[in-house]
């Protein structure tokens, strides 16, 4: 209970002090303005300077502070202190950019000086606003570029994660086998098929001619069939030699080709699906969205 009473007393004292300070400010301002109206500009300047002079003005009430700066600026003009007058008008407009002076209550020189400072302050403010807008635009552009680079990095990482490199080590012994096996090992499919088909055809021909030639031994042709039988035997014998020679030639050529173009290691890349629970990282900056519909699509940039 005692603590509550002390707090209430302190509040009442602070309120009374604030009212007394405000009353003093208003009283000092009214006194200085009366000196201004009496054209006692030196005394009016001293009174107004006590309110708003220096880096930290004594006047706490914003209305008193703005009015004191206005009259102090006008007073400085009458005292020939144009730079000091402009400085007071500038401080007034920096605190209240929409403030305007009454052309009826003040002489033309005061109004003109105030308007000149007003235009200059407005131009500076517009320039600052333009610079701030340009800075925000650059920051936004940088955010968009960062987002695009981030999405490109994510895409590259996804491609790398989805691609799997497989190495297959080849054997020289396998390359020495016929039937195009060495070519298939070197992943030369067309050449392997050519050797396999050709060698198979010549081997089949050699087997067929060999069987046909041996079957003549069991025949006992008549006298008038001996010449024909000899021609058949010769054709089968020569055909067997040619087919065997061709088979061996292609087999050797295939082995030589496979050994010459031997590939010790063959690397291949294959795709693998990423897990469905992998999600793209959330971003707090701008996002690029592609929207598709029945009537077309559009690219939208959200911030």
Count of structural domains, the chain: 2
| Residue ending a domain, choose from 137, 162, 187 | 162
Asked, for residue 283, whether it belongs to a domain, the answer is no
Domain that holds residue 186: 170-271
| Residue ending a domain, choose from 162, 190, 211 | 162
pTM, whole model, 2 decimals?
A: 0.45
CATH code of residue 131: 1.25.40.10
For residue 113, count other CB atoms closer than 10 A to its CB: 21
CB distance 267 to 163 below 8 Å:
no
Q: What is the full per-residue pLDDT of the chain (303 aa) written as tens digits?
A: 444 443 433 333 333 334 444 568 899 999 999 999 999 999 999 999 999 987 788 889 999 999 999 999 999 999 999 999 999 999 999 999 999 998 998 999 999 999 999 999 999 999 999 999 999 989 988 888 888 988 888 877 777 666 677 777 888 888 778 887 878 887 778 888 988 888 889 889 889 888 867 776 667 766 777 777 777 777 878 888 888 888 888 888 878 887 777 777 777 777 766 666 555 444 455 555 555 544 455 555 555
Structure tokens at 145: 């570029």
Same domain, 155 and 248: no
Ranges of H-type helices in the chain: 2-37, 41-52, 62-78, 82-95, 108-162, 172-175, 181-185, 189-215, 226-260
Residues 6+ apart with CB under 8 A from 262: 170, 172, 175, 182, 186
């Amino acid at each position: 209970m005692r603590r509550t009473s002390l707090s209430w007393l302190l509040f009442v004292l602070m309120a009374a002090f604030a009212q007394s300070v405000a009353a003093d400010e208003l009283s000092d301002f009214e006194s200085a303005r009366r000196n201004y109206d009496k054209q006692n500009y030196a005394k009016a300047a001293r009174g107004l300077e006590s309110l708003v002079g220096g880096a930290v003005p004594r006047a706490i009430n914003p209305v008193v502070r703005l009015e004191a700066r206005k009259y102090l600026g006008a007073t400085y003009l009458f005292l020939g202190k144009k730079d000091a007058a402009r400085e007071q008008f500038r401080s007034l407009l920096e605190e209240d950019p929409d403030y305007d002076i009454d052309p009826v209550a003040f002489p033309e020189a005061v109004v003109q000086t105030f308007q000149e400072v007003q235009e200059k302050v407005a131009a500076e403010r517009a320039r600052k606003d333009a610079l701030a807008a340009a800075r925000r635009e650059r920051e936004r552009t940088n955010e968009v570029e960062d987002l695009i680079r981030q999405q490109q990095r994510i895409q590259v990482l996804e491609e790398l994660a989805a691609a799997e490199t497989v190495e297959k080590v080849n054997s020289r012994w396998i390359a020495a086998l016929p039937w195009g096996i060495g070519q298939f090992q070197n992943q030369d499919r067309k050449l392997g098929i050519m050797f396999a088909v050709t060698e198979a055809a010549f081997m089949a021909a050699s087997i067929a001619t060999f069987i046909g030639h041996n079957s003549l031994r069991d025949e006992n042709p008549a006298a008038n069939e001996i010449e024909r039988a000899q021609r058949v035997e010769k054709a089968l014998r020569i055909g067997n030699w040619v087919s065997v020679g061709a088979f061996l030639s292609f087999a050797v050529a295939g082995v030589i080709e496979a050994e010459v173009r031997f590939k010790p290691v063959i690397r291949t890349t294959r795709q693998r699906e990423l897990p469905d629970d992998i999600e793209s990282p959330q971003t707090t900056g701008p996002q690029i969205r592609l929207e598709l519909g029945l009537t077309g699509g559009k690219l939208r940039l959200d911030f």
